[in-house]
Structure 1
Amino acid sequence: MAIDRYLVEQHQLGLMPATLRFYSWSPPAISLGYHQHQYPDRWQNLIWHGRAIDLVRRPTGGRAVLHQGDLTYAVVISGLSGSRTQVYQQICEFLIQGWRSLGIQLHYGTVGRGYIHNPNCFGTATGADLVLADGTKLIGSAQLRRGNVILQHGSMRLEPDEELFAQVFGKDVFAPVKLPLNLHKEELVRTVMNALVASAKSYFQAEFVVQPLSDREWEKVYLDCD
């Protein structure tokens, strides 16, 4: 989350180009929306496979997301115009095209404002979310705007653990994800990332350069965390 915020700041200052980022979480974590201040006390003491589950706050809005068995994407970009929904759809198009190349059709959710009463981000699907043909939510996204710079990041559920999901959000709320890819773990993540990078190149008409953060940049990120 701190890295995503740092990328926004650097792009806003003109020190970094538009960015596409993918990452996973170790240990698993629950990310809270920026304005989400009510959540169960027990979330601060969750253990899974002998490791504490991190509780972090996103710079974006929305509700709690359990990051385990998922892949997170982040787009930092400027120059887009339109309403919040229109900008969501402009950015989400590369996700739709990338998953389509894997044989999976995604559609926008249809839930209205009532979603705010559900603490679980994946419990409902709004017009900013992408769902499978059976209505199961595959991708939940959120945005942050700083001037004309936009951060949109989101969680793509690949292999969520039903037991952990029930431990966090309760029983009878888990919707299994059924992906017809017959891939597991590293191979599944690599396949999805490659498809989305290819679709982003085509959709945004951009060339990407893989560039890890430098030691100095890591220092700035850690200072921001403090």
Structure 2
Amino acid sequence: MAIDSWLLKQHQSGHPPALRFYTWSPPAISLGYHQHKYPEHWQHLVWQGEKVDLVRRPTGGRAVLHQGDLTYAVVTSDVTSGIVGSRVQVYQKICEFLIQGWRSLGIELQYGTAGRGYIHNPNCFGTATGADLILPDGTKLIGSAQLRRGGAILQHGSMRLHPSAELFTQVFGTESFSPVHFPQNLDIEKIIAALIAAAEDCFGMELKVQPISESEWEAILS
């Protein structure tokens, strides 16, 4: 996520918008920027012999377990994308490519509605807001968070693909886990390809793969 923050700074200085996808190794729990209360045992979790990292996002929201998920990040601005409006309207404008991409894979998504337990639930996937995307059965598939710096926008989020019920229960308890069922032939490469095609269509741009250089890595790590 340090790369996400760096991409936002790059965009503020005139670089083009960016879209990236990534997974996590080892697993980690990302805390929202303002989330200061969380169970103490999260600091001592071990999964398959590896310590579960505890990291803080540059964006707000509640805790997300990154294991068996795919994370996306969009860096853009109201000038380059023409995205204007309230925070939820901006969320939903950016989320159009997620809805269209998943629809091309045969999976329909819709926006959630925050329940009464939203404020007190430390688990991002425990409830859904108008910025989150849920399946027809109400299961939350994508939770997103956003950071704005002037006219520049970072929106990133987690897509639950194949989370471990055992680890999820260790982190959030037995009431939190609800499995997501996908077609058997749906792998992560197909998902990313569909989302890239949808992003090019929704945002009217051609995306180019741009590896991070050695000097850029040094800037990110510093």
Q: Determine if the TM-score, normalized by the shorter chain, exceeds 0.5.
A: yes
Task: Look up the SS of the partner of 2:114 in the other structure.
Answer: coil
Matching residue of 2:112: 109
- What is the rounded CA distance, in whole Å, between the counterparts of 1:35 and 1:213 in structure 2? 29
Name stretches of at least 5 consecutive residues in structure 2 with no aligned partner.
Answer: none
TM-score by length of 1: 0.94
Percent of paired sites with the same residue: 69
Aligned to 2:9: 9
Matched, 1:53 2:56: no
How far apart in 2 are the matches of 1:95 and 1:132? 12
The amino acid of 1:70's aligned partner reads D
Runs of 4+ with deviation above 4 angstroms? none
Across the aligned residues of Structure 1 and Structure 2, the Cα RMSD in angstroms comes to 1.0
Contact conserved, 2:117 with 2:127, CA < 8 A, in 1?
Answer: no
Q: Does the 8 Å contact 1:77/1:150 carry over to 2?
A: yes
Aligned counterpart, 2:17 = 18
Deviation at 1:114, TM superposition (A): 4.3
Contact 1:8 1:76 in 2 (8 A): yes
Q: After superposition, what is the alpha-carbon deviation per residue over 1:27-70, rounded to whole angstroms, capped at 9, x for unaligned? A: 00000000000111111110000000010000000000000000
Give me the whole-angstrom Cα distance separating, in 2, the residues matched to 1:112 and 1:171: 19
Equivalent residue, structure 2, for 1:190: 189
TM-score norm. by structure 2 comes to 0.96
Q: What is the DSSP-based 3-state SS (H/G/I as helix, E as strand, rest coil) of the residue aligned with 1:116? A: coil
Residue correspondence of structure 1 range 1-226 to structure 2 within 5 A = 1-14=1-14, 16-79=15-78, 80-112=83-115, 114-179=117-182, 181-183=183-185, 188-223=187-222
| 8 Å Cα contact 1:63/1:116 also seen in 2 | no
Q: Which amino acid aligns with 1:168?
A: V
Does the CA contact (< 8 Å) of 1:72 and 1:156 recur in 2? yes
Structure 1 unmatched runs, 5+: none
Tell me by how many angstroms 1:212 deviates: 1.2
Q: What is the letter of the counterpart of residue 165 of structure 1?
A: F
